[in-house]
């Protein structure tokens, strides 16, 4: 990133934050809401970061450091105030193979490269392509992620034990709770959910999730109830994350190892972050910020890789907790990161006493609030393709991962759109009003790669009169395949010794058509839209879009 780019980014960030009241209009009440929302998020981040560290087969502090550093930097510079970032399961499941084969030092190097790739995505403004994700894909994304969050909490209903390879398991030994321990756990989860549901009806002085955690924790600690607690996962006590250059050989072999993982992690991280950015934006009525979010995520991961963290991206669950707790500015994300650091440095003994049931209850309420319940009601009223995409993306998100689900959903939606538009091409035929004996084809619908066959079938060169006029007033020539179809049609009529005239084509088409371009009839009302292809006069080759 150049100095000019960094300066412009910082200037824009400062101006936007001030104008959007992220810093300018803080009141004591707003500060209290933001700080308490950050505390709630920090409490929920602890077990998540530890669990994802176990998934990636790294030390719990590696996950906690990532949650702190990524959360801190994205809170300050991210594209959407109120979003929360940290170590995530979507990235952890990719990291596990790298750590198993090459060790944690290669993970740190990969995270640095991942961040560099994300910085490049921000510099080249690739984040804007998130707008190509259709709404059915977004619905499938939130539904699938809600189910994933729900399933992730079920491990907390296992008996605490020792996982394979040493250290504590994510939730237990693989044996499910039964009898009194299970009923106690379920009761505390239900109590937490009831408190979160009921507190907003009584007061909004304290965020409902924080009230649920605090009350249930007080009951458990006060009565000495024997239930799983945060400390059963692992100790979160540690020091400040030390600066550490990844201890890997600086050669091509190392690059060959980490590049594939870095690209996958960068793609997954950006997709999840940008989709979360859109989701939070819908709740807070904010738009834009995609490129800024790419830059912030990239910077955060570069720094994390040099401070012994496992990298991260936006977390939809914690972002929903923050937003539902009233967090709307960068202060809530900043507070969450600083509280998390305080837990690591000085508050570990207290935080480790919090019952997991309280945190599970919070996450279950997040699931209820995240799942797009309206998607179930509209299934019968929307096009069958859209309903299929919602279900498909939901299933792939649960069974595979978010990035694959989004890509699959976009591809299916794009193919469905192309197919529907391919069927729209048709023509109305009539005799010419200005030229006796001439036949006019008035085209309607877009002419592109998917409709070229239908375009060809509209014409009957053998039986047409000697003069044929094709009117494109109600059609749109979209791509090079369409231009080639016009060229081929012109060649057919030329072979039969007949005249083909093209009317109402754009000026771009005049220039791009080689053979048929000589047959274009200029009109005063020719459209002026631009065709999305380039034509190289020197080589005669059609190039990329612009």
472-511 pLDDT, tens digit each:
999 989 899 999 999 999 999 999 999 889 898 877 777 7
Asked if the model's pLDDT at residue 166 lies above 50, the reply is no
Higher pLDDT, residue 309 or 514: 309
pLDDT in tens, 392-428: 999 998 998 777 898 999 999 999 999 999 989 999 9
Diameter of the chain by CA atoms? Answer: 99
- Mean pLDDT over residues 34-59, rounded? 91
Pairing of strands 520-521, 535-536: unpaired
- pLDDT value of residue 514: 66
- Measured CA to CA, the distance from residue 387 to residue 377 in angstroms comes to 11
- Measured from the Cβ of residue 464, the count of other Cβ atoms closer than 10 Å reads 18
- Measured CA to CA, the distance from residue 72 to residue 336 in angstroms comes to 8
Helix axes 208-223, 28-55, angle to 10 degrees: 60
All domains in the chain, ordered by first residue:
31-377 (no CATH), 423-542 (3.30.750.24)
Helix axes 356-370, 179-202, angle to 10 degrees: 60
Half-sphere exposure of 365 (CA within 13 A, CB side): 28
Contact, 541 vs 480, CB < 8 A?
A: no
Asked if the model's pLDDT at residue 537 lies above 90, the reply is no
- Measured CA to CA, the distance from residue 489 to residue 491 in angstroms comes to 5
Q: Which residues, at least 6 apart from 298, have a Cβ–Cβ distance to it below 8 Å?
A: 115, 116, 117, 118, 119, 120, 121, 122
- Mean pLDDT over residues 131-149, rounded? 89
- pLDDT value of residue 160: 65
- Burial of residue 148, with CB atoms counted within 10 A of its CB: 0-12 exposed, 13-18 middle, 19 or more buried: buried
pLDDT in tens, 178-190: 999 999 999 999 9
Q: pLDDT band for position 531 (50/70/90)?
A: very low
pLDDT in tens, 428-456: 999 988 888 899 999 999 999 999 999 99
Higher pLDDT, residue 372 or 2: 372
Q: pLDDT band for position 204 (50/70/90)?
A: confident
Half-sphere exposure of 64 (CA within 13 A, CB side): 27
pLDDT in tens, 255-273: 999 999 999 999 989 998 9
- pLDDT value of residue 525: 54
Look at residues 424, 421, 448, 406 and name the one whose alpha carbon lies nearest to residue 132.
406
- pLDDT value of residue 96: 87
Contact, 272 vs 402, CB < 8 A?
A: yes
- Measured from the Cβ of residue 423, the count of other Cβ atoms closer than 10 Å reads 11
Contact, 149 vs 360, CB < 8 A?
A: no
Contact, 397 vs 407, CB < 8 A?
A: no
- pLDDT value of residue 110: 97
Q: Which residues, at least 6 apart from 323, have a Cβ–Cβ distance to it below 8 Å?
A: 82, 280, 283, 284
- pLDDT value of residue 148: 86
- pLDDT value of residue 498: 93
Higher pLDDT, residue 2 or 240: 240
Asked if the model's pLDDT at residue 540 lies above 80, the reply is no
Q: pLDDT band for position 524 (50/70/90)?
A: low
Percent of the chain's residues with pLDDT above 70? 87
Asked if the model's pLDDT at residue 24 lies above 50, the reply is no
Asked if the model's pLDDT at residue 205 lies above 60, the reply is yes
Q: pLDDT band for position 172 (50/70/90)?
A: low
- pLDDT value of residue 108: 97
Asked if the model's pLDDT at residue 75 lies above 70, the reply is yes
pLDDT in tens, 276-304: 998 888 888 888 899 999 999 999 999 99
Contact, 363 vs 145, CB < 8 A?
A: no
- pLDDT value of residue 8: 53
pLDDT in tens, 364-381: 998 998 899 999 999 989
- Mean pLDDT over residues 135-146, rounded? 90
- Mean pLDDT over residues 92-107, rounded? 92
- Mean pLDDT over residues 216-224, rounded? 95
- Mean pLDDT over residues 144-156, rounded? 88
Helix axes 330-345, 316-324, angle to 10 degrees: 110
Q: pLDDT band for position 215 (50/70/90)?
A: very high
What single-letter DSSP state applies at residue 450?
T
- pLDDT value of residue 159: 81
- Mean pLDDT over residues 115-124, rounded? 96
pLDDT in tens, 305-350: 999 999 999 998 899 999 989 999 999 999 999 999 999 999 999 9
- Residue 504's region, left for phi above 0, alpha for psi from -120 to 50, else beta, is left
Q: What is the DSSP string of 249-289?
A: --SHHHHHHHHHHHHHHHHHHHHHHHHHHHHHHHHHT----
- pLDDT value of residue 515: 61
Mean pLDDT across the chain: 86
Q: What is the DSSP string of 478-495?
A: -SHHHHHHHHHHHHHHHH
Contact, 388 vs 412, CB < 8 A?
A: yes
pTM for the complete prediction? 0.77
Q: pLDDT band for position 224 (50/70/90)?
A: very high
- Measured CA to CA, the distance from residue 140 to residue 400 in angstroms comes to 13
């Amino acid at each position: 990133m150049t100095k000019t780019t960094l300066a412009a980014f910082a200037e824009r960030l400062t101006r936007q934050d001030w104008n959007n009241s992220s810093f300018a209009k803080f009141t004591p009440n707003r500060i209290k809401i933001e700080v308490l929302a950050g505390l709630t998020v920090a409490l929920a981040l602890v077990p998540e970061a530890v669990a994802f560290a176990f998934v990636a087969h790294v030390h719990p502090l590696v996950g906690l450091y990532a949650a702190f550093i990524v959360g801190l930097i994205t809170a300050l510079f991210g594209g959407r105030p109120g979003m929360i970032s940290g170590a995530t399961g979507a990235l952890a499941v990719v990291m596990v193979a790298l750590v198993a084969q090459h060790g944690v030092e290669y993970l740190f190097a990969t995270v640095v490269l991942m961040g560099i790739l994300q910085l490049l995505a921000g510099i080249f403004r690739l984040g804007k392509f998130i707008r190509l994700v259709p709404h059915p894909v977004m619905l499938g994304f939130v539904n699938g992620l809600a189910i994933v969050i729900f399933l992730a909490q079920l491990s907390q209903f296992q008996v605490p034990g020792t996982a394979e390879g040493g250290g504590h398991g994510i939730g237990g030994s693989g044996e499910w709770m039964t009898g009194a321990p299970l009923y106690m756990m379920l009761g505390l989860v239900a109590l937490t959910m009831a408190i979160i549901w009921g507190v907003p009806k009584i007061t909004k002085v304290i965020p409902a999730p924080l009230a649920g955690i605090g009350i249930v924790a007080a009951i458990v600690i006060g009565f000495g109830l024997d239930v799983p607690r945060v400390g059963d996962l692992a100790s979160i006590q540690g020091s400040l994350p030390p600066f550490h250059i990844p201890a890997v050989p600086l050669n091509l072999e190392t690059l060959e190892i980490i590049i594939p993982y870095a690209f996958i992690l960068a793609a997954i991280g950006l997709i999840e972050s940008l989709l979360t950015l859109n989701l939070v934006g819908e709740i807070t009525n904010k738009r834009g910020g995609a490129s800024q979010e790419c830059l912030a995520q990239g910077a955060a991961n570069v720094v994390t890789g040099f401070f012994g963290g496992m990298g991260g991206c936006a977390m939809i669950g914690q972002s929903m907790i923050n937003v539902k707790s009233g967090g709307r500015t960068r202060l809530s994300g900043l507070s969450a990161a600083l509280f998390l650091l305080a837990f690591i440095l000085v508050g570990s003994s207290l935080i480790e006493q919090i019952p997991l049931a309280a945190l599970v209850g919070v996450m279950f309420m997040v699931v209820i609030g995240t799942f797009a319940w309206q998607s179930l009601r509209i299934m019968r009223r929307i096009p069958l393709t859209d309903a299929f995409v919602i279900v498909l993306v939901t299933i792939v998100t649960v069974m595979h991962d978010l990035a694959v689900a989004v890509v699959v959903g976009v591809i299916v939606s794009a193919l469905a759109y192309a197919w529907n538009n391919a069927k729209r091409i048709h023509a109305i035929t009539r005799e010419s009003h200005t030229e006796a004996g001439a036949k006019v084809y008035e085209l309607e619908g877009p002419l592109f790669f998917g409709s070229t066959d239908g375009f060809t079938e509209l014409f009957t060169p053998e039986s047409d009169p000697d003069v044929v006029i094709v009117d494109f007033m109600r059609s749109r020539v979209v791509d090079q395949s369409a231009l080639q179809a016009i060229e081929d049609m012109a060649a057919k009529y030329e072979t039969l010794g007949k005249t083909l005239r093209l009317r109402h084509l754009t000026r771009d088409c005049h220039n791009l058509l080689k053979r048929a371009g000589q047959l274009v009839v200029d009109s005063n009302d020719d459209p002026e839209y631009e065709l999305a292809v380039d034509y190289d006069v020197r080589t005669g080759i059609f190039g990329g879009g612009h």
